[in-house]
Amino acid sequence: MSQDRTISSYWSAPVEGWTLVIHGGAGQLRQLNLSKEQEDHARVVLVAALDSGAKILAAGGSAVDAVEAAVRVLEDDPYFNAGRGAVFSADGINELDAAIMDGATRDAGAVSAVTKARNPVTLARAVMEQSPHVMLTAGGADRFGAEHGIEQVAPAWFHTDERWRQYEELRKGGTFDADLKYGTVGAVARDAQGHVAAATSTGGLTGKRWNRIGDSPVIGAGTWAEDAGAATSCTGSGEHFIRVGAAHELSARVRLGGAGLDEAAGAVIGEIGAFGGVGGLISVDAQGRGGWCFNSQGMYRGMARGGEPHRVELYGIGE
Which residues are marked as active site? 184
The DSSP H or E segment spanning 284 is: strand 279-284
- What are the φ/ψ torsions at residue 24 (nearest 5 degrees)? -130, 25
Give φ, ψ of 5 to 5 degrees: -125, 140
C-alpha dihedral sign at 9, 10, 15, 18: negative
Chain centroid to CA 132: how far?
24
The dihedral through the CA atoms of 38, 7, 243, 227 has a sign that is negative
| 157, 118 contact by CB (below 8 A) | yes
Q: Is 250 within 8 Å of 277 (Cβ atoms)? A: no
Ramachandran area for residue 309 (φ above 0: left; ψ -120 to 50: alpha; else beta):
beta
E-only strand ranges, 30-180: 96-102, 108-114, 135-137
Task: Give the DSSP H or E segment for 236.
Answer: strand 231-236
Alpha-carbon distances, residue 168 vs 172, 271, 278 (angstroms)? 6, 34, 24
